[in-house]
Amino acid sequence: MTLEEARAKVEDWLVKTSLYEEVAGSDVSDCHHAIQALILRAKPFDAHCVECKRAATFKPDLDDEQRGMVLHGTPEYVKQYCLRQNLFTVTATCARSAAHRMQFVFRHHPGRGVQKIGQYPSIADLSIPETSQFVKVLGQDRVRELNKAIGLATHGVGVGSYIYLRRIFESLVEDAHKEAAGEGEEGDDEFNDWDEDAYKRARMDERITMLKDYLPKFLVEHPQLYGILSKHLHELSENDCLQNFDAMKEAILIIARDKLKAHEEKEQRATTAKLLQKIGSTMKS
Ligand SMILES: [Zn+2]
């Protein structure tokens, strides 16, 4: 890993990398570049500020020694300085207030690598804004489970996080199923082609195809997003679950975004209808 490559990864290491995950292996030059990119980097990055409660720009802090190193350090001196760091903290400050700070702790085990060992606020807290907007359409319980899943995955708990995601995903599919079956009941039998028995017998991927009119098109067209769902729990390893985490989470968010859009559209129409009614009654009087 070159220094440039390390610098390109810093933002992810800070905001996305799970605790206890390695950012560099045993290679000394990898460790040097990772540490240098982490501690001698003043490039700002965007993240959710838990104090401002919205997205903010964070600027990593440098102490006097580090500032001197950036300005005057020779490459060899900088390298020795970096490799001497055993336990180091990267602190970053919110552009809106110097009191809003994030901290990230890394451990360098010479000859063995560099790993992330601490962070405040937690990755789960940083991803809550992404999910909290969906309370209206997913409900408090499902959003809470989604946050729990994200929290578990960031701590490397694969199967546990997967179970939460699966629960949410299946309940969303069940919502669509109720809608499809409900419309079937109301409709004229001649035009109703909903086959409840076939649905009950179907596997999850087949069910999604059957519900294609009630689920986001994107989801129906990309079965790999939920492909893992057709497997039994005992067939999956911790790693299978972690590797599929992002795809599963995305599948859920796609449904959530669609629902939110429909919800907002409905709200807007209701507001407009009310407005028109008001205008109508004013004109009459
Ligand atoms: Zn802030």
Q: Quote the mean pLDDT of the chain.
A: 88
> Do both 111 and 237 map to the same domain?
no
> Do both 156 and 134 map to the same domain?
yes
pLDDT higher than 80, residue 134? yes
> Do both 24 and 155 map to the same domain?
no
Q: How far is residue 191 CA from its own chain's centroid?
A: 42
Tokens representing 102? Answer: 């994030």
Rounded to the nearest angstrom, the distance between the alpha carbon of 25 and the centre of ligand 1 is 33
How much is the average pLDDT of 265-276?
91
pLDDT of residue 185: 59
pLDDT higher than 70, residue 21? yes
pLDDT higher than 90, residue 2? yes
Rounded to the nearest angstrom, the distance between the alpha carbon of 91 and the centre of ligand 1 is 14
> Do both 151 and 22 map to the same domain?
no
Per-residue pLDDT tens for 59-108?
Answer: 999 999 888 888 888 999 999 999 999 999 999 999 999 999 999 999 99
Q: How far is residue 230 CA from its own chain's centroid?
A: 23
> Do both 159 and 90 map to the same domain?
no
Burial 194-222 (b: 16+ CB within 10 A, else e): beeeeeeeeebeebbebbeebbbeebbee
Rounded to the nearest angstrom, the distance between the alpha carbon of 92 and the centre of ligand 1 is 11
pLDDT of residue 187: 52
Rounded to the nearest angstrom, the distance between the alpha carbon of 61 and the centre of ligand 1 is 15
Rounded to the nearest angstrom, the distance between the alpha carbon of 100 and the centre of ligand 1 is 5
Residue 237 counted as domain residue: yes
Residue 52 counted as domain residue: yes
Residue 280 counted as domain residue: no
Yes or no: say if 127 and 152 are a contact pair by the CB < 8 Å rule: no
pLDDT of residue 184: 59
Residue 284 counted as domain residue: no
> Do both 62 and 149 map to the same domain?
no
Determine the 3-state secondary structure of 104 from DSSP. Answer: strand
Rounded to the nearest angstrom, the distance between the alpha carbon of 125 and the centre of ligand 1 is 14
Q: Give me the domain span that covers residue 57.
A: 3-121
Rounded to the nearest angstrom, the distance between the alpha carbon of 50 and the centre of ligand 1 is 7
Per-residue pLDDT tens for 187-245?
Answer: 555 556 788 999 999 988 889 899 999 988 888 888 777 777 767 788 888 888 888 88
pLDDT of residue 218: 80
User: What's the order of all strands across the beta sheet hosting 87-94?
Assistant: 22-24, 113-120, 101-109, 87-94, 54-60, 45-49
As a whole number of angstroms, the distance between CA 128 and CA 119 comes to: 16
> Do both 114 and 130 map to the same domain?
no
Residue 278 counted as domain residue: no
Which residues make beta-bridge pairs with 137?
Answer: none
> Do both 63 and 100 map to the same domain?
yes
Tokens representing 34? Answer: 């990772």
Rounded to the nearest angstrom, the distance between the alpha carbon of 99 and the centre of ligand 1 is 8
Residue 248 counted as domain residue: yes
Determine the 3-state secondary structure of 237 from DSSP. Answer: coil
> Do both 138 and 29 map to the same domain?
no
How much is the average pLDDT of 258-276?
91
pLDDT of residue 38: 95
Rounded to the nearest angstrom, the distance between the alpha carbon of 44 and the centre of ligand 1 is 13
> Do both 139 and 234 map to the same domain?
yes
Number of structural domains, the chain?
2
> Do both 131 and 182 map to the same domain?
yes
